[in-house]
Amino acid sequence: MHELLMILLIIVSIALITVVLLQSGKSAGLSGAISGGAEQLFGKQKARGVDLVLHRVTIVLSVLFFVLAIAVTKV
């Protein structure tokens, strides 16, 4: 059981890294990091199309990653 969970954790980890790297940056530079974070916090920028799908897949994979990581430590 432990080996199966470890294999699933590795697969989810690689998929999560891949999905995060596929996402496009919202803004560039230091000024973009300051103002872009506020815009995203207050919901002025909405994700559409492929960005929306990647955003949702990232959320699902990150939750699955944490659940598998906790499950591996309990077994």
How does pLDDT run across 33-50, given as a tens digit for each residue? 565 555 555 555 566 788
How does pLDDT run across 47-65, given as a tens digit for each residue? 678 889 999 999 999 999 9
Q: Return the DSSP state at 47.
A: -
Q: Residue-wise over 10-34: b if at least 16 C-beta within 10 A, else e?
A: eebeebbeebeeeeeeeeeeeeeee
Q: How many domains does the chain have?
A: 1
How does pLDDT run across 6-33, given as a tens digit for each residue? 999 999 999 999 999 998 876 655 555 5
pLDDT at 35: 58
Kindly report the number of other CB atoms within 10 A of residue 68's CB atom: 19
Residue range(s) defining the domain that contains residue 43: 2-74
d(CA 33, CA 35): 6
Q: Which residues contact 47 (CB under 8 A, 6 or more apart)?
A: 55
